[in-house]
Chain A
């Protein structure tokens, strides 16, 4: 009896012990479903960077970080459920990694005063901070990517795309349809013929699409795929002997697991990139030492340094820098979502900050402002070398064509503002 009372008392004391304050960065990940091939390395990278900060630096500003994960399977309903479950625990920023879920959460996150960072995906017109107060898509968006891709093809074609045929092969969802207005505007301006070929979810069956490509023989192909459809597309391109250096994917269609299955035939496949590739950065040594070797890695540690893992690390780095900025601006180490949003709006990423984090030269320098939540919109082109089995950047980070992209952003955000009665801010 006495032992029972004692254990009860002890467990009561332990249960009501002091709760350590934590900085919560929820991870809406998908480790199941047809897009898991892309979701797993990103989620691992995101989680591992915060584990590194905890292990090496004792958190951010002395406060430990927490990355609760919730499985969405790229499904919008589960995404909403995950958001509702995680928003109450002091969540600082949400990164849904799915354009569909992003559209779902844009009004909800704004109403709940929690910022959302949709890095290089999501609703492109969220770059307009005057309409979208809580949504940030720095450093680049899909319309920038489309513009940079077309510019690269123009250089490759010797300076003019007049009379050429460009095909957009895309996932038949909001993510894949995003670049269409920009490409149509560019087609009118540059004089090329644009064909649009959709791929239905999940994209494992693309024979009819590639038959059409084989018949039409476009000069260049832009590919907006994700998950399993990337591997299938690259394999189909190899099967029909399409010249790989004229086939370019968006940054979500250019990772190692997309090209490895196709073997040597995938040599020369290009992809857009908004950050550097490879594992030749100081931070990966630290991650290996403090996280993977210590047994705290989110995955099995084998995808450190791969393209999507790097992207997860980059997203985590940007969130951590914003958190540091929020702590500095508010004077308290225990920040809330509202302060995080203000810090994200004032974020400035310099080479010095990247070098201090072990990511020297990882991406372009940029700053975020009230009007511009999308950063500079700079992208580079990476190419796959099948012999070395490595991606490498073949161009510098270059800007997109603002004269095409900016009016489209204005128009789309104005339409959203009109539909939802949002008054412009930042005045």
Chain B
């Protein structure tokens, strides 16, 4: 009933190979974009922006990046927290050294710097795989956190070691700093999310995506049929780190406003991103969004239900929150190891025929 595919014929190759060939999917995508760009900025307030929407958007970009590396290219990485830190600190140094350049370009350049660092720490992937690669990327995480703690140049020699983002504007509206309005910050991040998702979707649908998936599925066979493993793995690290660096830059500059590397970009961040990608679904762009939503919205929802709704004491609620999320993660991995994206795929297949059974 929802998917009316009868009579939907394609007459050009462009129509046939588009991302959303089915009309219902395509229109739904337009409606979501229209709602996100056209409705939410008018109804958003500070709490929703800072507690739910901004973290969701920013973690979605990071999850897209990590999904490309872990889900599409099959290279396990526990260094994403450190790469977000690289994005954040690059943005900070660029903002303070070149205050006249627009923050939009700073974020992109920070992504580029993170891509270079990512390629550097991705070099071990040419020799080791799986669990061992995870450990070496964990070393990257620890090294980067140590570096930003130890070398005072990165935090401009401040006494506390914290970096704070000064106020920057886009088209006259403040985007960073405390005076930034919530709808401006939201739209700024939304633009980055949309562009990142479109780029990621098209990269993964094209030749590079197929090269990455070939490496993931059986890298020796991929090499035999002509996929250059060096190029494929390093481009996976580069593209993934680019997105993670952009996410780190936005996380520091727009969402938090000030950061301290040990607290903000520690191993908990790396694991959080990995959980988002696993629960959302490896190898799926929608899965990155689903995982980010799950792990961002659920704790806030639980807190509001348990503390504000049921009136329980805050420490009981905080402990229960950890318990419930852990239990949900376990349940998910047992019931649906391919994540929320797989749930959606199955649902979509059924919906395409509904109300008919087959």
Chain A residues in the interface with B (C-beta under 8 A)? 29, 31-32, 36, 69-71, 73, 75-77, 80-81, 84-85, 87-88, 99-100, 103-104, 106-108, 110-112, 123-125, 172-174, 177-178, 180-181, 198, 200-201, 408, 412, 415, 419-421
- In the complex the two chains form, is A99's CB within 8 Å of B47's CB? no
Of the candidates B149, B167, B256, B266, which one forms a contact with A421 in the assembled complex, judged by CB atoms under 8 Å apart?
Answer: B167
Whether the pair A81, B50 counts as a contact (CB closer than 8 A) is: yes
What residue in chain B is nearest A86 (Cβ atoms)?
B47
> Are A77's CB and B256's CB within 8 A?
yes
- Verify B55–A77 contact, CB threshold 8 A: yes
Size of chain B's interface in residues, with CB distance under 8 A? 36
Whether the Cβ atoms of A420 and B314 lie closer than 8 Å is no
A104 near B256 (CB under 8 angstroms)? yes
**Which one of A32, A110, A123, A200 contacts B178 once the chains associate, using CB atoms below 8 Å?**
A110
Task: Identify which of B158, B262, B319 contacts A200 (C-beta below 8 A).
Answer: B262
Within 8 A of A (CB), among B274-314: 300, 303, 307, 313-314
Q: Is the CB of B160 within 8 A of A88?
A: no
What is the CB-to-nearest-CB distance from A197 to chain B, in angstroms, rounded to a whole number?
A: 13
> B82: CB under 8 A from chain A?
no
Please, which residue of chain A has its CB at the minimum distance from the CB of B149? A172
Q: Which of A32, A76, A81, A419 contacts B263 (CB 8 A)?
A: A76
Distance (whole angstroms) from the CB of A118 to the closest CB of chain B = 13
List chain A residues, Cβ under 8 A from B8: none
Complex: A282 Cα to B164 Cα, angstroms:
44
- Tell me, yes or no, whether B317 is within 8 Å of chain A by CB: yes
- Which residues of the partner chain B approach A36 to less than 8 Å between Cβ atoms? 315
What are the interface flags for B137-181 relative to A under an 8 Å C-beta threshold, 1 for contact and 0 otherwise? 000000000000100000000111110101100000000011100
Q: How many whole Å from A44's CB to the nearest CB in chain B?
A: 12
Which residue of the partner chain A has the closest CB to B55? A77
Bound-state Cα–Cα, A156 to B319, Å? 46
Closest 3 CB pairs between A and B?
A: A107-B178, A31-B315, A111-B178
In the assembled complex, the CB of B62 is this many whole angstroms from the nearest CB of chain A, namely 14
Q: Find chain B residues with CB under 8 A from A125 CB.
A: 159
Bound Cα distance from A420 to B159, whole angstroms? 17
Contact partner of A177 (CB less than 8 A), chosen from B55, B160, B315, is: B160
| Known contacts A29-B314, A80-B256, A110-B178: A75-B263 contact under CB 8 Å | yes
Closest to A36 in B: B315
Closest to A104 in B: B258
Whether the pair A71, B256 counts as a contact (CB closer than 8 A) is: no
Q: B166 to A178, Cβ gap below 8 A?
A: no
Q: Complex: how many Å from CA A99 to CA B179?
A: 21
* Cβ–Cβ < 8 Å partners of A80 in chain B: 50, 256
Bound Cα distance from A367 to B161, whole angstroms? 31
Do B257 and A104 have beta carbons less than 8 Å apart? yes
Inter-chain contacts of B228 with A (CB < 8 A): none
Q: Assuming the A-B contacts A76-B260, A177-B160, A201-B262, are A85 and B47 also in contact, with contact meaning beta carbons closer than 8 angstroms in the complex?
A: yes
How far is the CB of B312 from the nearest CB of chain A, in Å?
11
Proximity string of chain B (240-276) to chain A, C-beta cutoff 8 Å, 1 when within and 0 when not: 0000000000000000111110111010000000000
Residues of A within 8 A of B259 (CB): 76
Q: Which residue of A lies closest to B95 (CB)?
A: A419
Interface residues of B in 14-52 (CB under 8 A from A): 46-47, 50-51
Q: Say if the beta carbon of B318 comes within 8 Å of chain A.
A: yes
| Contact, CB under 8 Å: B47 / A88 | yes
Contact B179 A103 (CB under 8 A): no
| Chain A to chain B contacts (Cβ below 8 Å), 21 pairs | A31-B318, A69-B314, A70-B314, A71-B307, A77-B264, A81-B300, A84-B50, A100-B162, A100-B260, A103-B160, A104-B256, A104-B257, A107-B178, A111-B179, A112-B178, A174-B160, A174-B162, A180-B159, A200-B262, A408-B159, A412-B159
Choose among B50, B164, B257, B318 the residue that contacts A71 (Cβ–Cβ < 8 A): B318
Q: Measured between alpha carbons, how far is A36 from B262 in the docked complex, in Å?
A: 19
- Contact assessment for B159 and A419 in the assembled complex, using a CB-CB cutoff below 8 Å: no
| A420 near B177: Cβ-Cβ < 8 Å | yes
Bound complex: CA of A408 vs CA of B159, how far in Å?
Answer: 10
Q: Which B residue's beta carbon lies closest to that of A87?
A: B46
Tell me which residues across on chain B come within 8 A of A87, comparing CB atoms: 46
Known interface pairs A32-B319, A420-B164; 7 further A-B residue pairs with C-beta atoms within 8 A, sorted by A's residue number: A103-B260, A106-B258, A107-B177, A110-B178, A111-B179, A178-B160, A201-B266
Residue contact A32 to B318, C-beta cutoff 8 Å = yes
- Give chain B residues whose Cβ lies under 8 Å from the Cβ of A200: 262
B46 to chain A: closest residue by CB: A84
Residues of B within 8 A of A85 (CB): 47, 51
Measured between beta carbons, the chain A residues less than 8 angstroms from B264 are 76-77
Shortest Cβ distance from B258 into chain A, in angstroms? 5
Chain B residues lying within 8 Å of A107, measured Cβ to Cβ, are 164, 177-178, 257-258
**B96 contacts the other chain (CB 8 A):** yes
Closest chain A residue to B266, Cβ basis: A201
Residues of chain B with a CB closer than 8 A to A198's CB: 149
B55 x A32 contact (CB < 8 A): no
Question: What separation, in Å, do the CA atoms of A11 and B173 have in the docked complex?
Answer: 45
A32–B315 touching, CB < 8 Å: yes
- CB contacts (< 8 Å) of B96 on chain A: these are 419
| Contact yes or no, A173 B314, CB < 8 A | no
Residue in B46, B260, B307, B314 whose CB lies within 8 Å of A174: B260
Contact A71 B149 (CB under 8 A): no
A80-B50, A103-B160, A420-B167 given; A173·B318 CB < 8 A: no
Interface centre among B167, B262, B317, by most chain A C-beta atoms within 10 angstroms, is: B262
Cβ B51 vs Cβ A177 within 8 A? no
